[in-house]
């Protein structure tokens, strides 16, 4: 951002903006890094995974396991108290094997003996196509923490049945997301029994769910006991079957728990997923290699750094309403990128920390910019309230972009107003400085109010002289018209002021000093902006147009008119006012002569043709025509009596 021409404070601000943004970005990076180390932050990342991994969830893999559910209908139909006789499970294994099941996984732990006949019946049905469940429990004591495995009876494992650990690890919010950390997990053993090669995930692998509860094809236990009568033909043909609890309503079964867990999909359904379905999901994750790996710490930090850098680059150019749009777009991109990486790259890089960092940098810098803007608005209000009308100051404060501090070229209309004979008045009042000060204030107050009412900018007061201009700092398409309108009102205000001063002087027994003013207006290109030193400056205008306006104010006395305007001003206002050309004068420092005009009332418009004839005679040296026209013009345009009289006398007016 260019800083040329700005006030020193603004220059320092913008020159240090990159340092400020870089410092802020470093602070936000450190803060977000610390926040992600807080105990509760992983829960936020986990919930982000829940939503991203289940949006547009992958379809259920083909030829996946079938669930044989120990459910409410089976409890009612079999009508035997739980735990069911092990001979009943033996019948189920035989029925499933006869129906063509490839592997049968019993998600039931047979760790304690039943009756010898029941145990023997189950043992006789086992084989290498059956997988039994084991459990692993963490036992905590004052001395040490110890993992205890609960395995099926040796009687069952001797019959070549495989054993897999069916335990799962829940995250701290109680949601099941993690793949089992065991090489001999229940799902892995089912895959082994089926002859499927699997690749175990790295520690921290996350489960890719395929839906909510009852997503997998499920049949009731009692139906699987007699598939020929209750189920379609070939339903178990060459399929992996998982047998386990799948209760929809009952909270527990014989106080052993319902074996159901919240999964990532629970955020959508609010329902728990049966342990048997969880094992089926884990099995499909293994055989399809669809589990999700968590991004490494290095990758997470790199993403965080990238988010901070991009945010810093963005806000280094400024903030505003676009910051909200870009911030929202950045959030969308971060979440979209995380989703695509998860879905197609099988890596979960949480978007939460990068999003927090990006928004943190943008919001913090926007807050600083807002505070700076408020400060600048106060500075603008304080500074320009001396020059502009309150309404214009408010416009600048609301939209500082309309203000270009520093040197810029603009077409201005400049007005100079001075008191006639003020030196004489000052000499007469040299012993009464209070009255002189009062007189100046009484004079300049209404004149200043008129300038401001027409949208002018007061440049400065030079003793009894007032300088103002239009079309800066705010644009004013009719600046010439407004400057002339202000001048005419200023002349009218002098009549009211002199009337008040006369009345006050008579009442106080003081000498009355009438005030008269002369005004010069010129329009032209100037350089406008803050002029001065680095510690003190004024908003002012410089250029030949300003110099000519000052000369016109001085020349107005010589022409006997209170208002003299330049050629460019006259051409700009001739459709609104009656403009009389008076002369062509030479100005010091310029080789070409300048045409000067005055403004008269509407009643003088009819005299313009005759006045033009007078000018032609004057410029052509036709003294006879001048003398013939002058008396008639003096009668029609009495305000120019001095001008016509001096022209007849062939007086050369030198401004």
Q: Is the pLDDT of residue 387 over 60?
A: no
Give the pLDDT score at 322.
Answer: 81
The CA dihedral of 80, 81, 83, 85, to the nearest 10 degrees, is: -40
Q: 590-623, pLDDT tens digit by residue?
A: 667 889 999 999 999 999 999 999 999 998 888 8
- What does pLDDT average to over the chain? 87
Tell which residue, 439, 414, 420, has the closest CA to residue 491: 420
Q: 271-307, pLDDT tens digit by residue?
A: 999 999 999 999 999 999 999 999 998 999 999 999 9
**Neighbour count for residue 253 (Cβ, 10 Å):** 16
Whether 462 contacts 438, CB under 8 Å? no
Q: 447-482, pLDDT tens digit by residue?
A: 999 999 999 999 888 888 999 999 988 889 999 999
**Neighbour count for residue 9 (Cβ, 10 Å):** 13
Instruction: Provide the 8-state DSSP code for 121.
Output: H
**Neighbour count for residue 284 (Cβ, 10 Å):** 27
- Cα–Cα distance, 183 to 216 (Å, whole number): 24
Kindly report whether the peptide bond that precedes residue 83 is cis, defined as omega within 30 degrees of 0: yes
Q: Which residue has the higher pLDDT, 314 or 91?
A: 91
Rounded to a whole number of angstroms, the CA Rg of the chain reads 48
Whether 469 contacts 459, CB under 8 Å? yes
Q: Which residues sit opposite 414 in a β-bridge?
A: 469, 522
- Cα–Cα distance, 427 to 438 (Å, whole number): 15
Q: Is the pLDDT of residue 389 over 70?
A: no
Q: What is each CA distance from 365 to 15, 29, 30, 372, in whole angstroms?
A: 15, 14, 16, 10
Q: Is the pLDDT of residue 253 over 90?
A: no
Q: 501-537, pLDDT tens digit by residue?
A: 899 888 888 888 889 999 999 999 999 887 766 556 6
Task: Please give the angle made by the CA atoms of 116, 119 and 124, to the nearest 5 degrees.
Answer: 120
What residue spans of 211-351 are helical by DSSP H? 221-225, 227-230, 266-269, 275-288, 297-315, 321-345
- Cα–Cα distance, 79 to 92 (Å, whole number): 16
Q: What is each CA distance from 220 to 91, 179, 205, 249, in whole angstroms?
A: 14, 27, 32, 15
Whether 258 contacts 276, CB under 8 Å? no
DSSP-derived pairing of the beta strands 517-532 and 537-542: antiparallel
41-54 helix and 352-384 helix, angle to the nearest 10 degrees: 110
Give the pLDDT score at 654.
Answer: 41
- Cα–Cα distance, 87 to 120 (Å, whole number): 8
DSSP-derived pairing of the beta strands 145-150 and 130-140: antiparallel
Minimum mean pLDDT among 102-106, 278-282, 308-312: which range?
308-312
Q: What is each CA distance from 624 to 31, 105, 648, in whole angstroms?
A: 93, 131, 9
Q: Is the pLDDT of residue 248 over 60?
A: yes
Task: Please give the angle made by the CA atoms of 541, 545 and 549, to the nearest 5 degrees.
Answer: 95
Q: 54-65, pLDDT tens digit by residue?
A: 988 788 999 999
Tell which residue, 235, 242, 249, has the closest CA to residue 276: 242
- Per-residue pLDDT, averaged over 194-223, amounts to 92
Q: How confident is the model at residue 252 (pLDDT cuts 50, 70, 90)?
A: low
Minimum mean pLDDT among 9-18, 67-76, 96-105, 642-651: which range?
9-18
- Cα–Cα distance, 137 to 155 (Å, whole number): 22
Q: 6-17, pLDDT tens digit by residue?
A: 444 444 444 477
Q: Is the pLDDT of residue 176 over 60?
A: yes
- Cα–Cα distance, 90 to 132 (Å, whole number): 12
Q: Is the pLDDT of residue 120 over 70?
A: yes
Residue 375: in which H helix or E strand, if any? helix 352-384
The CA dihedral of 524, 530, 531, 535, to the nearest 10 degrees, is: 180
Give the pLDDT score at 655.
Answer: 38
Phi, psi of 229 (to 5 degrees): -95, -25
Q: 473-506, pLDDT tens digit by residue?
A: 888 999 999 999 999 999 999 999 999 989 988 8
Q: Is the pLDDT of residue 255 over 60?
A: no
Q: What is each CA distance from 64 to 99, 480, 571, in whole angstroms?
A: 16, 86, 91
Q: Is the pLDDT of residue 73 over 50?
A: yes
Three-state DSSP state, 179: coil
Q: Which residue has the higher pLDDT, 553 or 322?
A: 553
- Cα–Cα distance, 8 to 477 (Å, whole number): 31
């Amino acid at each position: 951002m260019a800083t040329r021409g700005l006030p020193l404070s603004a220059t320092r601000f913008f020159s240090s903006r990159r340092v400020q943004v870089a410092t802020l970005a470093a602070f936000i990076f450190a803060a977000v890094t610390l926040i992600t180390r807080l105990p509760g932050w992983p829960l936020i990342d986990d919930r982000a995974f829940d939503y991203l991994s289940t949006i547009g969830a992958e379809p259920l893999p083909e030829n996946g396991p079938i669930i044989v559910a120990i459910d409410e209908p089976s409890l009612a139909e079999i009508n035997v108290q739980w735990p069911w006789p092990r001979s009943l499970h033996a019948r189920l294994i035989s029925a499933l094997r006869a129906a063509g099941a490839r592997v049968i996984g019993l998600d039931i732990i047979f760790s304690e003996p039943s009756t010898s006949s029941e145990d023997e019946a189950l043992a006789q049905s086992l084989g290498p196509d059956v997988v039994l469940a084991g459990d692993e429990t963490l036992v905590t004591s004052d001395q040490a923490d110890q993992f205890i495995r609960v395995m099926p009876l040796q009687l069952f494992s001797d019959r070549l049945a495989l054993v897999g650990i069916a335990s799962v690890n829940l995250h701290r919010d109680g949601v099941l997301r993690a793949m089992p950390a065991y090489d001999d997990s229940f799902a892995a053993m089912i895959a082994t029994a089926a002859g499927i090669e699997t690749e175990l995930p790295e520690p921290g692998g996350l489960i890719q769910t395929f839906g909510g509860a009852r997503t997998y094809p499920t049949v009731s236990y009692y139906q699987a006991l007699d598939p020929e009568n209750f189920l379609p033909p070939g339903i178990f043909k060459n399929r992996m079957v998982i047998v386990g609890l799948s209760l929809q309503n009952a909270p527990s079964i014989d106080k052993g728990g319902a074996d159901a867990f919240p999964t990532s999909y629970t955020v959508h359904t609010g329902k728990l997923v049966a342990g048997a379905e969880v094992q089926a999901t884990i099995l499909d994750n293994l055989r399809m290699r669809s589990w999700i790996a968590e991004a490494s710490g290095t990758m997470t930090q790199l993403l965080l750094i990238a988010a901070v850098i991009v945010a810093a680059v963005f806000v280094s150019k400024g903030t505003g309403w676009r910051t909200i749009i870009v911030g929202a777009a950045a959030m969308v991109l971060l979440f979209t990128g995380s989703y695509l990486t998860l879905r197609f790259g099988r890596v979960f890089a949480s978007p939460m920390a990068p999003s927090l960092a990006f928004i943190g940098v943008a919001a913090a810098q926007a807050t600083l910019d807002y505070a700076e803007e408020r400060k600048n608005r106060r500075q603008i209000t304080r500074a320009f309230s001396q020059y502009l009308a309150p309404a214009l100051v408010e416009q600048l404060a609301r939209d500082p972009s309309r203000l270009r501090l520093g040197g810029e070229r603009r077409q201005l209309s400049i007005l100079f107003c001075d008191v006639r004979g003020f030196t004489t008045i000052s000499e007469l009042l040299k012993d009464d400085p209070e009255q002189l000060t009062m007189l100046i204030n009484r004079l300049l107050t209404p004149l200043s109010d008129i300038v401001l009412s027409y949208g002018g900018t007061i440049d400065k007061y030079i003793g009894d002289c007032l300088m103002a201009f239009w079309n800066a700092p705010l644009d004013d398409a009719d600046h010439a018209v407004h400057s002339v309108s202000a001048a005419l009102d200023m002349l009218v205000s002098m009549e009211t002021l002199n009337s008040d001063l006369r009345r006050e002087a008579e009442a106080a027994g003081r000498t009355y000093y009438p005030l008269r003013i002369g005004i010069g207006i010129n329009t032209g290109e100037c350089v406008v902006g803050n002029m001065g030193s680095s510690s003190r400056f004024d908003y002012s205008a410089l250029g030949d147009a300003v110099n000519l306006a000052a000369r016109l104010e001085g020349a107005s006395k010589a022409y006997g008119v209170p208002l003299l305007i330049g050629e460019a001003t006259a051409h700009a206002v001739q459709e609104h006012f009656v403009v009389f050309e008076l002369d062509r004068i030479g100005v010091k420092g310029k080789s070409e002569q300048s045409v000067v005009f005055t403004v008269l009332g509407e009643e003088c418009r009819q005299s313009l043709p005759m006045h033009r004839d007078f000018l032609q005679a004057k410029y052509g040296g036709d003294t006879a025509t001048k003398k013939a026209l002058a008396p008639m013009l003096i009668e029609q345009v009495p305000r120019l009596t001095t001008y016509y009289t001096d022209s007849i006398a062939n007086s050369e007016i030198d401004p």
